[in-house]
Amino acid sequence: MDGRDQTERLSADRAGIARAADLLAEGGLVAFPTETVYGLGGDATGGLSVARIFEAKGRPSFNPLIVHVPDLATAETLIDLGPPLRRLAETFWPGPLTLVAPIRAEAEIADLVTAGLPTLAVRVPLHPVAQALLTTVERPIAAPSANPSGRISPTTADHVLDGLSGRIAAVLDAGPCDVGLESTIIGAGEDRPVLLRPGGLALEEIEAVLGAELAARGADITAPGQLSSHYAPGATLRLNAAAPESGEAWLGFGSEPVLGTPCLDLSPSRDLTEAAANLFAYLRRLDDQSARIAVAPIPETGLGAAINDRLHRAAAPRS
């Protein structure tokens, strides 16, 4: 617990942001909106705050966290980017991109954040409320997605409260997230940048800026968020389905509705950006209505790669 029984729902105005910054500065936990998903924020310089994040999420403590800062200049006080990652930062920050690079010796980051790794994950979010919070609090904020460990990431303040009410000090409510998928994570790699997690920034856009293909993630890389059943709903999922079978709810993609069963369409016009924004909320809604969900095929291009990554994890056998 966070020493409070009640989680405050703060409106995303000047007073709410000031209250959130005060709570963070006192070592409290505040969930806040980013353009990807809601993050569960704590002061990244305070070991106790970071420990509270793990406690609130019920997350295994070997899982390192992403640190959020307002701009590239602040990021460079924490990590050594090197030329290729700096080019990505200059192009895509602020935005749905996380960069993993060697942590600087002078960076004041609690050891628990990196879980003992010599690298640190840093992100500059685009969402104006996240930006306002980070510039007000004037310290790096560690924030995993604001869901209990192993559950679907939250794209609204209600999702946050469903999982963490009473376990965190407050949630800043700015409505639904635009992107709806976690950030794409890129590491420095040995000879060229490496993809650690597909996400809200399409790989095609990153490779166009680098003028080269990304390396694939090696089996040795510690990214426990990549454990197979990481985004699990309660229901079982059947992927690449042509149509629902009897007893299955239907998550379509530009598909005809099916009578007599709960149906949602990720994007009637087959727009992958719209589908990404709807994915987690629609999985939650169908999960509430059915024990089995059939999912239409999603193309593997653009944000489709990250959507399919999350769907495969949601469909994986539970540990």
The answer to the question of residue 267 lying near Mg ion (CB under 5 A) is no
Least distance (Å) between residue 241 CB and ligand TXA: 27
The answer to the question of residue 156 lying near ligand TXA (CB under 6 A) is no
- The region of 77-85, 219-227, 264-272, 307-315 touching ligand TXA under the rule CB under 6 A is 219-227
Nearest to 302 by CA among 203, 216, 232, 214: 203
Binding mask 88-117 for ligand TXA (x = CB under 6 A): ----------x-x-------------x--x
Burial code (b: 16+ CB inside 10 Å, e: under 16) for 259-291 equals: eebbbbbbbeeeebbbbbbbbbbbbbebbeebe
Q: Which of 63, 91, 136, 236 binds ligand TXA (CB under 6 A)?
A: 63
User: For every residue of 207-275, which 3-state class applies, written as one string?
Assistant: HHHHCCCCECCCCCCCCHHHCCCCCCCCCEEECCCCCCCCCCEEEECCCCCCCCCCEEECCCCCCHHHH
The answer to the question of residue 145 lying near Mg ion (CB under 5 A) is yes
Identify the three-state secondary structure at position 294. Answer: strand
Residue 206's binding partner among Mg ion, ligand TXA, none (Cβ under 5 to 8 angstroms by kind) is: none
Binding mask 96-135 for Mg ion (x = CB under 5 A): ----------------------------------------
Q: Which CB atom, from 45 or from 270, has the smaller least distance to ligand TXA?
A: 45
Q: Which CB atom, from 227 or from 239, has the smaller least distance to ligand TXA?
A: 227
Q: Which of 7, 145, 156, 278 binds ligand TXA (CB under 6 A)?
A: 145
What CA dihedral angle connects 114, 186, 75 and 47, to 10 degrees? Answer: -20
220 pairs with which residues across the strands?
A: none
